Amino acid sequence: MTTDDLERCYAAALHILNYRFNSEAELRRKLKAKKFDGPLIEETIERLRREKWLDDSRFAAAFVRTKQQKHHGPRKIAMELAAAGVGRDDAKQALQANSNPEREREDAVALFEKRRRLLIRRHGEDYVQTDEARRKLAAYLLNQGYDSALVQSVVKEIPVVDD
């Protein structure tokens, strides 16, 4: 491992971070894909950590805020953080720090309404009042990462017509 190799790895890492904030695990994967060897990557990651370019807790907080703006629920965000290689503690702390039950409900209702309008366009107004449509709407919200109790309370608000 030469100083030149270390500088090339460091420059590549900064180039990657220039486009988007990354978790340590993401950056490690990207540097490996660029054919840098393990010890070089580890030394670069350590340097980036010392220089505050890389911080998984800060990454997790920013990631949570970004995903919340896209109306993702907390469970989906937690799964995405895990996929990005963020540790459980950092993910949990970021989710708790950015938790807002009122906003979460508003986001779920907004997604519900958007999906409901789509179902009305596809199947007609009467369809969205059926049990089948309610199940589809509930499944959609659950897949977006919302808690089942919240999903039930949102879906319960629409009237049901017997099939």
pLDDT, one tens digit per residue, over 29-44 is 999 999 999 999 999 9
Torsion of CA 99, 102, 107, 109, to 10 degrees: 150
Does residue 12 lie within any of the structural domains? yes
Tally the domains of the chain: 3
Please check whether residue 163 lies inside any domain of the structure: no
pLDDT digits (tens, 9 = 90+) for 3-62: 888 999 999 999 999 988 999 999 999 999 999 999 999 999 999 999 999 999 999 999
Residue 43 in domain: yes
Q: Is 2 within the bounds of a domain? A: yes
Q: What is the pLDDT of residue 56?
A: 94
Rounded Cα distance between 27 and 16, Å, is: 8
Top pLDDT among 20 and 1 is at 20
Q: Identify the sign of the CA torsion 132, 133, 138, 144.
A: positive
Please give the model's pTM, rounded to 2 decimal places.
0.82
| pLDDT in the model for residue 162 | 47
Listed in sequence order, the residues at least 6 apart from 85 whose beta carbon sits closer than 8 Å to its beta carbon are 23, 24, 25, 26, 28, 29
162 inside domain: no
Q: Does residue 70 sit in the same domain as residue 115?
A: no
Range of the domain at 11: 1-54
Contact, 17 vs 27, CB < 8 A? yes
Query: Do 62 and 44 share a domain, yes or no?
Result: no
Do the domain assignments include residue 132? yes
The whole-chain average pLDDT of the chain stands at 92
Domain contains 35:
yes
Q: 1 and 38: one domain?
A: yes
Give the per-residue pLDDT at 160. Answer: 56
